[in-house]
Amino acid sequence: MNTSDHAIADREEPGSSSESELPPEPRLNLACDVESSDCDEGWLSAHLESICGHIDREFHRVAVRVIDDAEMVDLHSRFHDDPTPTDVLTFEASDPGDPVDVDIAVCLDEARRNVVDRGHDVNRELLLYMLHGLLHCCGHDDHDAESHARMHAEEDRILVAIGVGPVFGGDA
């Protein structure tokens, strides 16, 4: 620190902090963009944090938005040329091997449709979508039967480890 830096530091207001002392940007961010009584942001955020601790990858930033069919159709059309709703879209900004930096969109309306057959609540279904998106960032895919089975077994392993229980495989 040179002399002028000391002078600036000496003039700081009491209780102020330098940039290096500012709190870091939140690593995880969950936003429910649709009005919903069946979407528990607090529960989802806490479990999303737990999930990250069970994936063998460093996380820089994970931003998740819970959206409706209309917005999901818009995103799916713009980025995948598919005008249908889907459960999850992942927009990774990090390079392979770097800490994960990702935006994930999960569809509340799709979750509501799927829970009818799976026999659990919407929050567990949304959490499954979030985990699914994160696993895609970590190199998992589900494009053939073998990789599909491996990916969903990993989802259930992690969901059991955080106390939610298997979602995709049953036993809700």
Residue range of the domain that includes 60: 23-161
Residue 172 lies in a domain: no
CATH code, 147: 3.40.390.30
Phi, psi angles (nearest 5°) of residue 62: -130, 115
Longest CA span, the chain: 69
Residue 3 lies in a domain: no
Residue 6 lies in a domain: no
Give per-residue pLDDT as tens, 125-170: 999 999 999 999 888 888 889 988 999 999 999 999 999 998 766 5
Give per-residue pLDDT as tens, 45-103: 999 999 999 998 888 889 999 999 999 999 999 999 999 999 999 999 988 888 999 99
Residue 41 lies in a domain: yes
> What whole-number distance in Å separates Cα of residue 142 and Cα of residue 86?
15
Query: What's the structural domain count of the chain?
Result: 1
Residue 111 lies in a domain: yes
Residue 4 lies in a domain: no
Residue 1 lies in a domain: no
Residue 51 lies in a domain: yes
State pTM to two decimals. 0.80
